[in-house]
Amino acid sequence: MKSLAVLLVVLVMGSVSAHAESVFRNAVPSNSHDTSSFYPVEARRALIEGDVYVEFTIGADGRVSQPDIRTSSNYPELDQAALDAVQTWTYLPATRDGVPVAVRKWAEIRFRLAESDSLFGNGDLNAFDCHGHPNQSPAVRKDACERLLATSGLSDEDRNRAICFHGGALAGLGRYDDGLAELNSVLAKVPDDAMFIQTRAAIFYMKGDYMRAKADFDRARGLAPDRLLLEQDSAVTDMRLGNYVQAITKLDVVLARLPLDARARFTRGMAHYKLHHYDLAMVDANWLIQHVFGNQIGIYLRGLIERATGDAKQGDADVSAATAADPNVAENSLQLAETP
């Protein structure tokens, strides 16, 4: 099953050591992760923008600690603001076999002038729900966007954003053509907005139009070359088109800067598997087994590799073990690799 990720929501992927029999559940945000109030006033006055990738620990109590800059914005004031912001976040903690555990995560913090001055950066409830956040349904996003669009006084920028997110929500409900129509309407007015192009690309992807999805993802990459999520999106689309070498090249770039990124790790492992690079695929499978999601996705990938290399008995055992621990492991692994 393919799904549309909530776009431009802080996306975090984590790591946790686990035994094969453990059942792991990831941490879930329990408060707003809006960072607009941390945007330094001096930086805004100087028209300074930037993206910061922060790595941090979510404790068994759900609190954030030990934040570190993984990729700098090249502006010390923005880097410090990102560190300050993530330390205000709280989570429902990750659990292993129902017991809260600490995990290491990363997040992308974006400081953008237009976003900080809009409803989408200032805590408006309808804007927050329209933009989307983890575990929120497309139906809730759709309704929130419609309430927002029914209000008066929206700036042109906020109205375009609301239409974009509404189109994404429609696509999440399976209304791909309606979603594309809305994205085309905002792109007719703002043709070079990377976020709008990325959202349209994701809808093309969900619809199965991978060539158009790749064209849009690559165009968005050109407009926002520092956004690693776009590098991943393009790589995943390459996977669908059978461009495995190109996908690996892009994922190597992502993992050089974000080594905790499980989605990139699994996708790269699958690309190596498709190319019969089984030793390299096993490296990524073993990393997943050690670090991510109670390791069922890693065990599943390892089982596929073992089958391909002639160890059918062990491969069947690993696939069976992963499926017994998580009956949806095949579907979950597909979503991890394929959710733009």
pLDDT in tens, 98-148: 899 888 888 888 887 776 667 776 667 788 788 876 567 899 999 999 999
What's the pLDDT at 333? 63
Task: Encode 296-339 in three state secondary structure.
Answer: HHHHHHHHHHHHHCCCHHHHHHHHHHHHHHCCCHHHHHHHHHHC
This prediction's pTM? 0.74
Q: What is the pLDDT of residue 339?
A: 47
Positions of CATH 3.30.2420.10 in the chain: 1-112
Fold for the domain defined by 260-340: 1.25.40
pLDDT for res 6: 31
Strand partners, 339: none
Rounded-to-integer distance, Cα 103 and Cα 293, Å: 11
Measured CA to CA, the distance from residue 3 to residue 335 in angstroms comes to 7
Q: Output the pLDDT for position 3.
A: 36
CATH 1.25.40 domain extents, the chain: 260-340
Instruction: Note the pLDDT of residue 9.
Output: 30
Residues of the chain scoring pLDDT < 50:
1-21, 339-340
What's the token pair of residue 120? 């989408």
What pLDDT score was predicted for residue 335?
Answer: 56
Please provide the CATH number assigned to the domain covering 1-112: 3.30.2420.10
Q: Tell me how far apart the 2 most distant CA atoms of the chain are, in Å.
A: 65
